[in-house]
């Protein structure tokens, strides 16, 4: 579309808006009728460890949403000299899982407990045994039951439990709904009925019945919705919350709010059977859409769903690039101290590319990027560390290669189960997120780590906010009976195959050697957590 055509599309509201709350950045993307991004905005934020809980405050959420939206509006004015007053549809996305319990007055009863908290081990274990289904620690139901086991007084006052995007959607529309992909991060999902598994709902209600709470499971949980369903419209209050300038008009329809796994699937065209994607940022997870159910439950794997409700298996690691980003920040401090001008983009690119010059196994170095706990390897707390022997080859290239390897280490544990024990087949594996911004580096590391071809599309850098915008576009542009997979193939990704890198045999062998070291060295990480110094 020409500049004038795009400007007119904005004025006419022939656009779709996606907003995603990532771990370190809130991003907004506006797309045109071809689903191409035409404007974007952002807001940087960071979770805090308060009283042993990783959290964001409600003011963090509100201020970040408003600043991100205003940044989008500035971008639109600079590019097209118009104000955004409406759009065709809106989609909200955020980090999956977590625990936000509210009372009947809409007050948050305890600080938001994010996916990053590994504090629900007892509940996770007991619910997994009760349901005969893996219930990870970060799932909302595990947080709720752990609060019950802890005898926390707020539980009796719960009127609604939301994830982050369910909360934002609720504030914008008044609707207590959630996309099926993130509902699958709250409680097990029945993909044949597109709803919570009723047998497990009944078991949970019976489990907590002796406590005498005035609610049952379905009273306090979001209603399950699938892609393409309208989930309310922007209210006057919601419009004022989103746009403090007052220019945005109410009445805009919203699609089901989805988790970052769901929008990642959309952003990489990975919602069809035998497709998969790896999202690598603050956390890293591989999600693969299954042909059939797994033979049994595994504590290392989550069973989730695509935004359309198809079953998918996820290997999720809490830790990925946080520690790596800290190292790059240290190099930036060094450059500043030396009077060397180097922007962060240049630093990242230079250091990432240097990693490809390193020895295949990282030269004998060992790193753990555990900024927080890591359920995949059994840690409730983390201690980032770099370890080497006197014989290790401590070079910049090996240092960077090792730090990139360890970003994928815990996730690899879960993928080994899928590929080696369950013999899951994948026709297409795509990468997106910060790890893949430097062309060809993270992509090659991942290909070697999973020993499979990995593709990265040009749109991968737009991430989940673009995926949320595409889900909003699907709401208003789908044809009668058109599936989400068909919509993506014919209207979004047609002609966009991306670039594909095959695994390098030497790199595969090197990563496997690193993983042997990684597994054997876990007692070192355990000692760092247990020693009592920090």
Q: Is the dihedral of CA 425, 426, 432, 437 positive or negative?
A: positive
DSSP state of 463: H
Cα–Cα distance for residue pair 492/494, rounded to 1 Å: 6
Structure tokens at 143: 């947080």
Confidence of residue 481 (pLDDT cuts 50, 70, 90): very high
Cα–Cα distance for residue pair 345/325, rounded to 1 Å: 12
pLDDT for residue 338: 97
Strands 385-387 and 89-94: unpaired
Cα–Cα distance for residue pair 503/450, rounded to 1 Å: 8
51-65, 243-257, 303-317, 505-519: least confident range: 303-317
Confidence of residue 179 (pLDDT cuts 50, 70, 90): very high
Strands 177-179 and 189-190: unpaired
Confidence of residue 461 (pLDDT cuts 50, 70, 90): low
Cα–Cα distance for residue pair 388/392, rounded to 1 Å: 6
The helix/strand/coil state of 153 is helix
Q: Confirm if 138 and 97 have CB atoms less than 8 A apart.
A: yes
The helix/strand/coil state of 488 is helix
What is the C-alpha radius of gyration for the chain, rounded to an integer number of angstroms?
23
Cα–Cα distance for residue pair 232/443, rounded to 1 Å: 39
Q: Which residue do the tokens 């280490």 mark?
A: 409
First to last CA, the chain: 56
Does the predicted model carry a pTM greater than 0.75? yes
Q: Which residues have C-beta within 8 Å of that of residue 530, sequence separation ≥ 6?
A: none
Query: Dihedral, CA atoms, 420, 429, 19, 226, nearest 10 degrees?
Result: -70
Alpha carbon 245 to chain centroid distance?
Answer: 30
Above 90 in pLDDT, residue 422? yes
Q: Which residue do the tokens 């991004």 mark?
A: 37
Confidence of residue 23 (pLDDT cuts 50, 70, 90): confident
Domain extents in the chain: 322-407+506-530
- Mean pLDDT over all residues of the chain? 94
Confidence of residue 110 (pLDDT cuts 50, 70, 90): very high
> φ, ψ for residue 389 (rounded to 5)?
-100, 165
Cα–Cα distance for residue pair 271/16, rounded to 1 Å: 20
Q: Which residue do the tokens 């990684």 mark?
A: 518
Query: Dihedral, CA atoms, 136, 138, 141, 147, nearest 10 degrees?
Result: 120
Helix (H) or strand (E) holding 3: helix 3-12
Alpha carbon 340 to chain centroid distance?
Answer: 35
* Per-residue pLDDT tens digits for 297-354: 888 888 889 999 999 998 989 899 999 999 999 999 999 999 999 999 999 999 999 9
Partners of residue 258 on adjacent β-strands: 93
């Amino acid at each position: 579309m020409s500049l004038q055509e795009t400007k007119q599309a904005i004025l006419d509201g022939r656009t779709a808006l996606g907003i995603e709350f990532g771990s370190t950045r809130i991003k907004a993307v506006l797309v045109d009728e071809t689903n191409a991004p035409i404007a974007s905005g952002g807001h940087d934020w960071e979770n805090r460890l308060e009283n042993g809980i990783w959290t964001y405050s409600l003011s963090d959420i509100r201020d970040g949403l408003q600043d991100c939206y205003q940044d989008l509006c500035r971008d639109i004015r600079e590019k097209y000299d118009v104000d955004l007053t409406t759009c065709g549809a809106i989609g909200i996305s955020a980090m999956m899982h977590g625990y936000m319990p509210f009372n009947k007055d809409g007050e948050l009863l305890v600080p938001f407990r994010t996916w990053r908290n590994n504090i629900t081990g007892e509940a996770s274990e007991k619910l997994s045994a009760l349901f005969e289904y893996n219930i990870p620690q970060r799932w909302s139901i595990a947080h709720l039951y752990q609060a019950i086991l802890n005898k926390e007084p707020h539980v009796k006052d719960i009127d609604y439990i939301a994830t982050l995007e369910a909360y934002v959607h609720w504030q914008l529309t008044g609707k207590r709904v959630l996309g099926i992909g993130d509902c699958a991060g709250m409680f097990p999902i029945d993909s044949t009925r597109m709803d919570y598994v009723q047998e497990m709902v009944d078991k949970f209600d019976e489990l907590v019945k002796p406590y005498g709470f005035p609610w049952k499971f379905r009273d306090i949980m979001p209603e399950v919705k699938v892609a393409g369903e309208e989930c309310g419209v922007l209210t006057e209050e919601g419009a004022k919350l989103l746009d403090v300038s007052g220019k945005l008009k109410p009445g805009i329809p919203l699609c089901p709010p989805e988790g970052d796994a769901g929008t990642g699937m959309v952003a990489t065209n990975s919602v069809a059977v035998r497709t998969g994607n790896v999202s690598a940022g603050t956390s890293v997870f591989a999600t693969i859409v299954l042909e059939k159910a797994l033979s049994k439950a595994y504590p290392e794997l989550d069973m989730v769903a695509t935004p359309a409700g198809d079953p998918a298996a996820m290997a999720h690691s809490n830790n990925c690039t946080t520690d790596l980003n800290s190292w790059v920040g240290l190099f930036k401090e060094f450059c500043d101290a030396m009077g060397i001008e180097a922007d962060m983009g240049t630093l990242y690119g230079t250091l990432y590319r240097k990693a490809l010059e390193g020895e295949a196994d990282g030269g004998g170095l060992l790193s753990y990027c555990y900024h927080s706990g890591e359920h995949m390897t059994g840690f409730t707390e983390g201690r980032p560390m770099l370890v080497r022997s006197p014989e290790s080859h401590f070079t910049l290239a090996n240092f960077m290669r090792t730090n990139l390897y360890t970003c994928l280490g815990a996730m690899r544990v879960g993928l080994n189960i899928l590929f080696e024990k369950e013999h899951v087949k994948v026709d297409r594996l795509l990468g997106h997120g910060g790890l893949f911004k430097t062309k060809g580096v993270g992509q090659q590391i991942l290909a070697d780590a999973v020993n499979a071809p990995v593709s990265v599309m040009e749109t991968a850098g737009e991430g989940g906010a673009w995926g949320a915008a595409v889900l909003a576009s699907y709401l208003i542009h789908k044809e009668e009976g058109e599936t989400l997979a068909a919509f993506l193939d014919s209207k979004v990704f047609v002609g966009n195959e991306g670039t594909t890198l095959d695994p390098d045999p030497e790199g595969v062998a090197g990563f496997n050697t690193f993983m042997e070291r990684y597994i054997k060295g876990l007692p070192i990480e355990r000692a760092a957590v247990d020693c009592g110094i920090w």
